[in-house]
Amino acid sequence: MKKVIYPGSFNPITYGHVNIVERGLELFDHMVVGIGTSIDKDPNTYLKDRIRLCRESLESFGDRVNVVGFNGLLVDFVKSNDTRFVLRGLRTLTDYDYEFQMLEMNRQIEPSLEYVLLPTSQKWSHLSSTRVREIAALGGDVSPFVPPCVSEYYRDKHAIPD
Ligand code: ADP
C-alpha cells in the first residue's frame, strides 16, 4: 500500500487543498494530511479547529485519508508514519521557489524522502488561505473558496461581538 504525507498549515483548508487531496489519491492508496503550525502563516487559528475543519472537509474520502496535527520537523513526522513520500501543491513561481528551498533543506536533513509536487488546477491557482482569512476578517463571503464547514466557521466567528 502506497502512503503519502500531505503537510501544510491548512489555515484554513480551501478547495485548492481539497483538489490536491483528490488528485493525490489517484497516485497513492492512503494519505495522511499533517497539519503543522507555520510561524510565518498566522498560527493563531487553533490547531484543533484547523484539524476539525480538515476532517469535516475531507470526510467524503473515507478511511483513505487521515487528518492529524504535528509539531516538530516534517522529516521526523514523515518517518514516524512509515513512509518516505511527501505531497505538495504548486500554484505560482513563488510557490515553486518556496517548495524547492524547503525540499532541498529537508533533503540535507533526510535524503531518503521523495517529493511529489502536483500543479494546481487552474480554477484554484489564485486561491490561498491567507486571502481567505483576509476576506473573512472583513466580513466577506468565503463560500466560493472553501468547503461549507469552513465558511460556517468564519460566519459564526464574525457573529460573535468582540
Ligand atoms: P504551508 O504553510 O506548508 O505552505 P499551506 O496550507 O499554505 O501550508 O499549503 C499546503 C500545501 O498546499 C502547499 O504545498 C501549497 O502549495 C498547497 N496549496 C495551497 N493552496 C493551494 C491551491 N489553491 N492549489 C494547489 N495547491 C495549494
In this predicted structure, the answer to whether residue 7 has a pLDDT above a threshold of 50 is yes
For residue range 82-119, what is the model confidence (pLDDT) as tens digits? 999 999 999 988 889 999 999 999 999 999 999 999 99
pTM of the shown model: 0.93
The set of catalytic residues is: 17, 41, 91, 129
DSSP helix/strand/coil, 86 = strand
Distance 157 CA to ligand 1 centre (A): 24
For 17-74, what is each residue's pLDDT tens digit? 999 999 999 999 999 999 987 656 555 568 889 999 999 999 999 999 999 999 889 9
The residue to which cell 466557521 is assigned: 153
Given CA atoms 103, 107, 32, 34 in this order, what sign does their dihedral have? negative
Protein residue with least CA distance to atom 17, ligand 1 = 89
- Spacing, Cα 131 to ligand 1 middle (Å): 12
Q: Residue of the nearest CA to atom 21 in ligand 1?
A: 16
